[in-house]
Amino acid sequence: MAKYTLGIDFGTESGRAVLVDVADGSEVATAVYPYLHGVIDEKLPISDKEVRLEPDWALQDPEDYLRTFQVAIPAVMKESGIDAADVIGLGIDFTACTMLPVKADGTPLCFLPEFHDRPHAWVKLWKHHAAQPEADKINETARRMGLKWLDRYGGKISSEWFFSKVLQILDEAPEVYAAADRMIEAADWVIWQLTGVESRNSCTAGYKAIWSKREGFPDQSYFKTLDPRLEDVVDEKMSRIIQPMGDRAGGLTEQAAKWTGLVPGTAVAIANVDAHVAVPAATVTEPGRMVMIMGTSICHMVLGTEEQIVPGMCGYVEDGIIPGYFGYEAGQSCVGDHFAWFVENCTPASYVQEADHLSIDIHQLLEEKAARLKPGESGLLALDWWNGNRSVLVDVDLTGLLLGATLATKPEEIYRALIEATAYGTRVIVDTFQDNGVPIWELVACGGLPEKNKLLMQIYADVTGREIKVSASTQTPALGSAMFGAVAAGKASGGYDTIYEAATTMAHLKGETFKPIPENQGVYERLYTEYLRLHDYFGRGGNDVMKTLKKIKAEVKHVS
C-alpha cells in the first residue's frame, strides 16, 4: 500500500501544501492558500480603528497560517483522493526569522482584544526592517565584549534576526514584551498548533537566534549588558531545548486533525526553514555540493565536516541543515529582483512592442537577445549591489555600479551584464568557501530562476567553472518538508529513519545540466579579475563613494 507525506511551505504571500509519494517523492497534489492579509506594511487589518505602520515595518497575521492548514491540506486531500490513513507524516518550512510574542498556551498576543491594536503584538515578518538600531546595539555590544560568536555570522547580526526583533519590542512596547510569556519563531509556533507541544528547531535557533549546539545561547551577562530587562530572556521567554532537523515534534492533535482532515496522531516533524529544507530536496546530504536557491535573491547552502570561520557568510550551524554536518549559509540579496528592476525601469518601449509582436515575455526577449552576445562582447562590467551586498562583504550600504557603457550600448547588453554581475557575486562566495576550508565541487540549483532563464544558468556555470545540476522538483521546499515528514514517521510506519535515506529515494535531479564551456570560461576568468578589483576597491574601503552618496542622499532628504 503506497504511503504519503505532506509538506507545507509557508511563503511570504501564501502557504502551499504538497502531497508526496514516499516511495519516489513524486508530487501527487498541490494546493496554494493566498494569505488573506499577506504582508501587512501599511496599517493593521483591524476594523475598529486605524493603526498605521512606520516605514520598514512588515507584519503578518497568525490566522493566515492556521487558514493554510484549514484550506490547503483539505484541498490536496480532496484533489488526490488519497485516504487520510495513508498520510503517515507532515513537515513544514517557513520564512525566517519570522517571529511573534505569544501567551503560555500559545495564543498570539495579537489575538487578544487588549493587544490587537498594538503593532508589536503581531507577527514580525522576515523582511521587517525597522530593528536596525537594535541590531547595531547587539553588534556593538558583542564587539565591545569581544564575543566570539559574532564570527559564526560573518561578523554581523542582521536587523532581520530574532534578538533584533525582540529588542525592538522591548524598546518600543515594553508592556507587550512583559505580557509575552514566549517569544517564538512562527515556524515553531505552527508546529505547536499542530501538535499541542512547544518545540524549537535547531535551524532557526542556530541561524537566527545566535544558538549553537556546543555553546548554546549567548550568556546572560551579554543580554544583561544589552538591556538589564533582557537578562533572562532565554529562560523566561524561550527554551534551551533545541531539537535537531529530522526529529519528530509530536503527533497531530484532535483539533488539528479536524482542521486538516488528517488522522489524529499523524507524525509531525520539527519545523524547518524554506531555504534550508530545500537542501536535501535538491539531493544534497553531503559536503561539497552547494545548493543555490535562486529567486529574487540567492541563498547558498553547503555542508561541511569541520567548523570553519568563513568571512562574510550569513552563518553556520551544526545540525542546522542536515544532522551530523555543519550547515554553512551565504546569500546574495539582489538577483531576480535585479532583472525585474531592469525590466520595469530600463526596457525601452520598442522592446516591449517587439515582445508583444512575438507574443513572448519581455524577459524572454531580453534573454534571447542577450544570448546572441558572446562573453566580453558588450564591454560592460557591473557590481551586483543594487540591494547591498550580503556575502561576503555584509554591507547593506553598498550600491550598484555599471561600467563600460558607450553610445552603442544596447539594453540586452546591460541585461546580460547584470546577469554576469550576479554570477561573479556567486563566484566570490564559492571561492571564499573553497579558500576557507569548505570545498565546493558542484552546484545544485533550485527555485524559480533555473526554469526561467537558461542563459543565466550557463553564465553561472561558465563564471564559476563548475557544473550546475538542477533539482527536478519545482517545489523543493515543500518536497523537503514532506521528506522530513517521512523521517518523523519513521521506517516502521512506512517512512524513513534518516533524511539520507529519504533523499536517496525521494529527491531527484533533472537530466539537463549546465557545464562550463571552456572558451567562455577563459574570457570570464579575465572579466572576473576586473570584477574582483572593483569589488575590493569599492567594497573594502578603497573608495567609500557609495556610502558617501547614501549619506548625502539621507541628509538632503532630511532637509526637505
Give the CA angle between residues 497, 500, 502 to the nearest 5°. Answer: 65
Question: Mind giving me the DSSP string for 416-477?
Answer: HHHHHHHHHHHHHHHHHHHHTT--EEEEEEESHHHHH-HHHHHHHHHHHTS-EEEBS-S-HH
DSSP string, 113-167: TTTTT-GGGSEE-TT--TTHHHHHHHHHHHHHTT-GGGGGGTT---TTSHHHHHH
The answer to whether residue 533 forms part of the interface with a copy of itself (CB under 8 A) is yes
How many whole angstroms separate alpha carbon 266 and alpha carbon 262?
A: 7
Burial of 371 (0-12, 13-18, 19+ CB in 10 A): middle
User: Within positions 351 to 390, which residues make up the interface with a copy of itself, using CB under 8 A?
Assistant: 352-353, 374-381, 386-387
Of the candidate residues 411, 450, 494, 516, the single one contacting a copy of itself (CB under 8 A): 411
Which one of residues 410, 452, 454, 508 is an interface residue with a copy of itself (CB under 8 A)? 410
Query: Rule CB under 8 A: is residue 305 a binding residue for a copy of itself?
Result: no
How far apart, in Å, are the Cα atoms of 226 and each of 152, 173, 219?
19, 17, 11
Stretch that binds a copy of itself, among 144-152, 259-267, 339-347, 508-516 (CB under 8 A): 339-347
The DSSP secondary-structure symbol of 286 reads: S
C-beta of 278: minimal distance to a copy of itself in Å? Answer: 24
C-alpha dist (Å) from residue 183 to 11, 61, 383, 440, 446: 21, 16, 39, 37, 32
Residue with cell 550551524: 317
Closest CA to 278 of 512, 91, 501: 91
Is residue 327 close enough to count as binding a copy of itself by CB under 8 A?
no
Residue 498 DSSP class = S
Q: How many residues bind a copy of itself (CB under 8 A)?
A: 54
Is residue 540 involved in binding a copy of itself (CB under 8 A)?
Answer: no
The window from 137-145, 212-220, 399-407, 427-435 that contacts a copy of itself (CB under 8 A) reads 399-407
Q: To the nearest 10°, the Cα dihedral for 313, 314, 316, 321?
A: -120
Element (H, E) at 301: strand 298-304
Contact between 530 and a copy of itself by CB under 8 A: the answer reads: yes
**Which residue among 38, 106, 295, 404 contacts a copy of itself (CB under 8 A)?**
404
CB of 553 to a copy of itself, least distance (A): 4
- Interaction between residue 409 and a copy of itself (CB under 8 A): yes
Q: Exactly one of 71, 401, 455, 517 binds a copy of itself (CB under 8 A); which one?
A: 401
Select from 104, 241, 407, 492 the one that contacts a copy of itself (CB under 8 A). Answer: 407
* Smaller CB separation from a copy of itself, 38 or 400: 400
- Binding of a copy of itself by 541 (CB under 8 A): no
Among 403, 448, 510, 512, binds a copy of itself (CB under 8 A): 403
Nearer to a copy of itself, 104 or 408 (CB): 408
Closest approach of Cβ 537 to a copy of itself, in Å?
7
Q: Tell me the window of 206-214, 450-458, 492-500, 521-529 that interacts with a copy of itself (CB under 8 A).
A: 521-529
CB of 246 to a copy of itself, least distance (A): 37
Q: Is 148 in the site for a copy of itself (CB under 8 A)?
A: no
The amino acid occupying position 388 is: G
Cis peptide before 97 (omega within 30 of 0): yes
CA 14 to CA 449: how far, in whole Å?
A: 19
Instruction: State which residue, 404 or 490, has the beta carbon closest to a copy of itself.
Output: 404
Instruction: Say which residue the cell 515578518 belongs to.
Output: 125
Residues that bind a copy of itself (CB under 8 A): 334, 337-338, 341, 344-349, 352-353, 374-381, 386-387, 399-407, 409-411, 523, 526-527, 530, 533-534, 537-538, 543, 545-546, 548-550, 552-553, 555-557, 560
